[in-house]
């Protein structure tokens, strides 16, 4: 097998390679040996140990400004390649580790020092802290993300009473609900018209009166690494300073988060595909028929080649899009239709490739493919979840089309 870092080609720098080496070594030594146990780690003892180890690597504070003690990582390429290396071990772990970056990126972008110092500072310390973003809702699902106000349906409302925001509503499927320390809630101050100006991003600390949670969802994958549960907000009151920005600006910031979420989902999935590919190459190298290794026969070699082609092309695509994210002068804001389209395409292609790679791996490995001892079935279960989140592939394809011409969601 070639040197692992060559898969990222000319996109990564020597500094990236140094960071990726640390993350890769941690993944190899701390995550991959316990992959099977993570699905049974209901009390999260193993998971919390891993997350604390990632804190020591600086992963919790990766995007926070250096003046706060963070790493100040701004490169989408660096961010995405870290995510892929971590996802080789477990995409749920990788997902949870990236949430603080999503939750606090709006405050970082608008330089909201009050929020960063009041709520973000603990994430730059040496103890593990969880974050959660409440977006999807029971009635409209991913319609919260809709560009068209006629389609958008945000039931969680925020009204200003004196110096406090009062929030009422329900969020469904948020990651780390009930275990996080800080929640970023997508609300509307304009429930009748669902206008862009009415969208508000408001932080809610854990333990705030009126904040409660449902039972964790019983899922096919990422069972305990990525906890999903309903969030209930019953007249939750927080200081008015806990809103990220103001009318119109919060909508732009939300679009940024959505665009980043689509992009980062691509390496999140491909980490699974890469791990499965490595398992298959190893497995078929230790199995024989007709006097040759299984992987030496032309039929099996052709299947393995197709797996490699899919992985390499999907990786090249997400790296290209990440390079666009890194050049705002040329490609514009991450919230634009153009970059949301590119990020959505990267997610769709990477998740489709990963599901296909997992299926081909099972064909090559037979019964061992669906045996829990060989992990392929785990990566397949986890990858399907990635394909479905953030609106799923069908909604994502609408955003891809919108990058080329106007399109209505109604």
3-state secondary structure of 259: helix
Tens of each residue's pLDDT in the chain, 410 residues: 468 999 999 999 999 999 999 999 999 999 999 999 999 999 999 999 999 999 999 999 999 999 999 999 999 999 999 999 999 999 999 999 999 999 999 999 999 999 999 999 999 999 999 999 999 999 877 777 777 776 788 999 999 999 999 999 999 999 999 999 999 999 999 999 889 999 999 999 999 999 999 999 999 999 999 999 999 999 999 999 999 998 889 999 999 999 999 999 999 999 999 999 999 999 999 999 999 999 999 999 999 999 999 999 999 999 999 999 999 999 999 999 999 999 999 999 999 999 999 999 999 999 989 998 888 999 999 999 999 998 888 889 999 999 999 887 65
- In the chain, where the domains are located: 4-130, 132-246, 250-402
In contact, 124 and 70? CB cutoff 8 Å: yes
250-402 has the same fold as 132-246: no
SS3 22: helix
b/e string for 142-179 if b means 16 or more Cβ within 10 A? bbbbbbebeebbbbbbbeeeeeebbbbbbbbbbbbbbb
Q: Report which of 132, 220, 222, 225 is spatially closest to residue 172, judged by C-alpha positions.
A: 132
**Distances 211 to 122, 187, 403 between C-alpha atoms, Å:** 21, 15, 38
Cβ proximity of 149 and 196 under 8 Å: yes
CATH number of 132-246: 2.40.110.10
Q: Would the pTM count as exceeding 0.85?
A: yes
User: What long-range pairs does 292-295 form, CB within 8 A, spacing at least 24?
Assistant: 294/364
Q: How far is C-alpha 369 from the chain's CA centre?
A: 26
Kindly give, in sequence order, each residue whose CB lies less than 8 Å from that of residue 131, ignoring residues fewer than 6 positions away: 99, 100, 102, 103, 104, 123, 176, 180, 181, 182, 183, 184
CATH 1.10.3720.10 fits 4-130, yes or no: no
Say which CATH superfamily domain 250-402 falls into.
Answer: Butyryl-CoA Dehydrogenase, subunit A, domain 3 (1.20.140.10)
Q: Which two tokens stand for residue 224?
A: 């305990």
d(CA 296, CA 277): 15
- Taking the C-alpha atoms of residue 294 and residue 223, their distance in angstroms, rounded to an integer, is 34
Identify the DSSP state of 80: H
DSSP 8-state class, residue 28: I
Residue 233 tokens, joined = 């907000």
């Amino acid at each position: 097998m070639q040197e692992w870092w060559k898969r990222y080609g000319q996109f990564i720098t020597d500094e990236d390679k140094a960071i990726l080496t640390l993350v890769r070594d941690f993944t190899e030594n701390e995550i991959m040996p316990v992959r099977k146990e993570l699905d049974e780690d209901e009390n999260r003892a193993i998971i919390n140990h891993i997350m604390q180890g990632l804190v020591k690597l600086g992963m919790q504070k990766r995007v926070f400004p250096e003046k706060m003690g963070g790493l100040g990582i701004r490169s989408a390429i660096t961010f995405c390649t870290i995510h892929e290396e971590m996802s080789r071990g477990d995409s749920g772990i990788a997902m949870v580790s990236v949430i603080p970056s999503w939750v606090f990126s709006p405050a970082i972008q608008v330089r909201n020092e009050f929020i960063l110092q009041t709520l973000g500072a603990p994430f730059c310390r040496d103890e593990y802290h969880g974050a959660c973003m409440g977006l999807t809702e029971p009635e409209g699902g991913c319609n919260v993300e809709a560009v068209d106000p006629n389609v958008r349906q945000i039931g969680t409302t925020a009204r200003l009473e004196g110096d406090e925001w009062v929030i009422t509503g329900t969020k469904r499927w948020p990651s780390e609900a009930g275990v996080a320390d800080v929640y970023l809630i997508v609300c509307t101050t304009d429930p009748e018209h669902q206008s862009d100006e009415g969208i508000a991003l408001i932080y809610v600390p854990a333990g705030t009166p009126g904040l409660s949670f449902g039972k964790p969802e019983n899922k096919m994958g990422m069972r305990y690494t990525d906890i999903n549960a309903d969030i209930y907000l019953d007249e939750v009151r927080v200081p008015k300073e806990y809103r990220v920005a103001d009318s119109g600006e919060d909508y732009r910031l939300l679009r940024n988060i959505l665009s980043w979420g689509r992009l980062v989902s691509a390496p999140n999935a491909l980490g699974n595909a890469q791990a499965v590919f490595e398992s298959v190459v190893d497995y078929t190298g230790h199995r024989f028929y007709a006097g040759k290794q299984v992987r030496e026969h032309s039929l099996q070699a052709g299947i393995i080649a197709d797996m490699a082609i899919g992985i390499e092309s999907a990786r090249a695509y997400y790296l290209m899009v990440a390079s666009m994210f890194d050049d705002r002068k040329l490609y514009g804001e991450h919230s634009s239709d153009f970059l949301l389209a590119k990020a959505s395409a990267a997610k769709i292609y990477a998740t489709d490739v990963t599901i296909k790679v997992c299926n081909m791996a099972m064909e090559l490995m037979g019964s061992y493919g669906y045996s829990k001892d060989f992990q392929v079935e785990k990566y397949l279960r986890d990858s399907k979840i990635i394909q479905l989140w953030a609106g799923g592939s069908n909604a994502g394809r609408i955003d891809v089309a919108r990058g080329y011409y106007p399109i209505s969601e109604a």
